[in-house]
């Protein structure tokens, strides 16, 4: 089995089509509750100071492949997680912790998808993901509106974490915020912990926040 570091080992990069390019696909069933990605020390966390050192070509590439975290820094994954595409019905989401979890059972051959509405995107984009609930336009403002829905899915998925295989167990450390044996904290830290919002001249973050249920 080929492993791509801190992304689930039962995944591979596949060319999807010429328009979208590459995507991350499951090579075996991945059950709901599986931790599919964890932040590790090789992932680049780039703040403003560091980004200012890049020339325009490098900066453009970094912006394309990175996401903005709750502190306004860019996370550039060194593993193929950076190729994960958007779906308005994403099967992988991140609670307010530096990891991602399968929120549904993912079938062998199915594409793993994130919701870019949770990535503090700087500009809206048109979506034709094909999901029944496709929003057509994915925008920065989706975050607060959809957070309760994402939190609810994560609440159910993380309750299963203890009962499914966790091949990324080795990479989990205290900083990822799990309690013992894949037990997630209750209440689960809300996705809103990743919220970064630029207001006027300055920037403020809404996180960290906690889910209530």
Binding site residues, Zn ion, CB under 5 A: 88, 127, 129, 134
User: Least Å distance between CB 126 and Zn ion?
Assistant: 9
Distance (Å, rounded) from C-alpha 103 to C-alpha 94? 9
User: Least Å distance between CB 89 and Zn ion?
Assistant: 8
Residue closer to Zn ion (CB basis): 145 or 183: 145
User: What φ, ψ does residue 46 adopt, rounded to 5°?
Assistant: -110, 120
User: Least Å distance between CB 81 and Zn ion?
Assistant: 20
Q: Where are the alpha helices (DSSP H) in 39-166?
A: 48-51, 56-65, 142-158
Residue closer to Zn ion (CB basis): 106 or 129: 129
Q: Where are the alpha helices (DSSP H) in 18-141?
A: 48-51, 56-65
User: Least Å distance between CB 46 and Zn ion?
Assistant: 28
* H/E segment holding residue 17: strand 11-17
Size of the chain, expressed as the number of residues it contains: 213
Distance (Å, rounded) from C-alpha 166 to C-alpha 162? 8
Residue closer to Zn ion (CB basis): 88 or 188: 88
Peptide bond into 116 cis (omega under 30): no
Residue closer to Zn ion (CB basis): 75 or 138: 138
């Amino acid at each position: 089995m080929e492993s791509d570091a801190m992304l689930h080992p039962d995944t591979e990069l596949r060319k999807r089509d010429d328009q979208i390019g590459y995507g991350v696909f499951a090579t075996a069933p991945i059950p709901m509750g599986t931790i599919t990605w964890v932040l590790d020390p090789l992932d680049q966390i780039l703040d403003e100071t560091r980004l200012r050192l890049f020339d325009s070509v490098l900066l453009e590439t970094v912006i394309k492949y990175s996401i903005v975290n709750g502190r306004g820094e860019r996370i550039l994954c060194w593993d193929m997680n950076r190729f994960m595409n958007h779906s308005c019905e994403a099967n992988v989401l991140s609670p307010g912790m530096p990891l991602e979890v399968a929120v549904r059972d993912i079938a062998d051959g199915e594409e793993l998808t994130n919701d870019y509405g949770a990535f503090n995107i700087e500009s809206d984009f048109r979506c034709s993901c094909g999901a029944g609930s496709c929003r057509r336009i994915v925008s920065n403002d989706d975050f607060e509106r959809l957070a309760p829905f994402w939190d609810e899915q994560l609440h159910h998925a993380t309750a299963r974490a203890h009962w499914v295989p966790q091949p990324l167990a080795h990479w989990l450390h205290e900083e990822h915020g799990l309690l013992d044996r894949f037990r997630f904290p209750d209440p689960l830290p809300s996705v809103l912990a990743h919220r970064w919002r630029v207001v006027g001249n300055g920037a403020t973050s809404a996180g960290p926040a906690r889910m209530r249920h």
